Amino acid sequence: MTADVTQSAATSWRHLAAGLRREDLAALIVFAVLAAIPLAVSGYVVFILPQYMLFGILALSLALLWGHAGIVSFGQAAFFAVGAYAMGLVMKHAALPINSAYVGILVGAAGGAAVALITGYFLFSAGVRATYFVVATLALSIIVEQTVKSFSNVTGGWNGLYVDRMTLTLGPLFELSLFDDAPMYYVILVIVLPAYVGVVALMRSRFGKIIVGIRENEDRMLALGFDVPLYKTLVFGLSGLLAGLAGALYATHANFAHPSNAGVLFSTQVVIWTAIGGRHSLLGAFVGAIVVASLSNYLNAVTPQYWQLLQGLVFIAVVIAFRRGLAGLAETLFGSRGRDRKRHGNAA
């Protein structure tokens, strides 16, 4: 009896250990480092890094589409901006009995998801795919950008929208201003971590396998009876949700929502982060955005002209020769190739 229990406990432990992959170990290290940084340094790094983590979530929202579902979107900034402006407008105008920042975050994430679900259903249900879809998402970015520019009495137009730093509250008992950088840092980390874990878990579930199945062979999945447009719409909606969430938090962190948050250039910056980080790896995309954004910040101060050029050349090199990006590089270096390679082998 006892032996049985021990044995089954041991088995389930082994199952758990087998379920954990090297990527999870890497993720553990990444998040541990992120959690330790404010203990080691202070000042500008602690201020700016949460924004880059949110860019990481934005890149993750694209990697989910690109690497797993085989859908390329040039419209991620549109959802990000919807989240950012929703946050700003809710915090500015809503007189609510509860903390308006919480409502703003929810509305921002839901807004991003709603725009993505509507656009996704509209296009996927008609079988719009591949490059046509890219052009449509490109238009989405421009539509959102132009909209926030032109309704300036609501959105502040070109000047952008000022957004307050949120305050953390828990009923009437507890209140913490996030005006200081370190508390804000940890609040964002505490939201980013479950977002990452949740997406990874979802992609390992049945839903994730169906999504990958659609990427590999859409017609076969259709023939097997899966409602392909519905699944594509759902994954696109999830991607919009993540991007909207990142946008809402970004607005309150940066104190600002701006039309360029929606623009084509920002949308394509997300594509670059994801490509450099590794389009097939959720962790790779997350880390890629943080690394490239940090480098960009640093090199923009040192050599503003040549940094953009360098980024363009690196992007070309990644597309041509290093399709798996930083994640692929890490895999080669730390040699977990066999299994993972088989899994991703034929991915486009």
Partner 1 sequence: MEIAVSVIADTILITLVLALAAFGLAIIYGLIGVINMGHGAMLTLGAYFTWWLTQHGLPFVPGVLLAAAAVGAVGLLFEHFIIRHFYDRPFDTLLLTWAFFLVATEVIKIVFGTDFRNVASPFAGAVDLGIYRVPAYKTVIAGLSILVILGTAVVFFKTTLGIKIRAMIQNRDMASLLGLNIAAMYKLVFGFGAFMAGLAGGLIAPMFSVDPYMGNTFLVRSFFVVIVGGIGQLLAGTLFGSFAIGGLETVLALFSDQVVAQIAVFFIAVIVLRFRPQGVFSGR
Residue numbers at the binding site for partner 1 (CB under 8 A) = 72, 122-123, 126-128, 130-132, 134-136, 138-140, 142-143, 146-147, 149-150, 264, 268, 271, 275, 305-306, 308-309, 311-313, 315-316, 319-320, 348
Q: Which is nearer to partner 1, 143 or 291 (CB)?
A: 143
Q: Which is nearer to partner 1, 81 or 163 (CB)?
A: 81
d(CA 74, CA 291): 21
Long-range CB pairs of 19-27 (<8 Å, 24+ gap) are 19/204, 21/336, 21/339, 21/340, 22/331, 22/334, 22/336, 22/340, 23/281, 23/283, 23/340, 24/200, 26/283, 26/330, 27/196, 27/200, 27/283
Tell the smallest beta-carbon distance from residue 100 to partner 1 (Å): 29
Q: Which is nearer to partner 1, 38 or 67 (CB)?
A: 67
Tell the smallest beta-carbon distance from residue 127 to partner 1 (Å): 8
CA angle 111, 118, 265 (to 5 degrees): 70
d(CA 275, CA 124): 24
Tell the smallest beta-carbon distance from residue 267 to partner 1 (Å): 11
Tell the smallest beta-carbon distance from residue 318 to partner 1 (Å): 9
Q: Which is nearer to partner 1, 130 or 190 (CB)?
A: 130
Please, are residues 261 and 128 in contact by the beta-carbon 8 Å criterion? no
d(CA 291, CA 333): 18
SS3 181: helix
Tell the smallest beta-carbon distance from residue 32 to partner 1 (Å): 33
Q: Which is nearer to partner 1, 252 or 261 (CB)?
A: 261
Q: Which is nearer to partner 1, 131 or 153 (CB)?
A: 131
Tell the smallest beta-carbon distance from residue 203 to partner 1 (Å): 21
d(CA 73, CA 66): 8
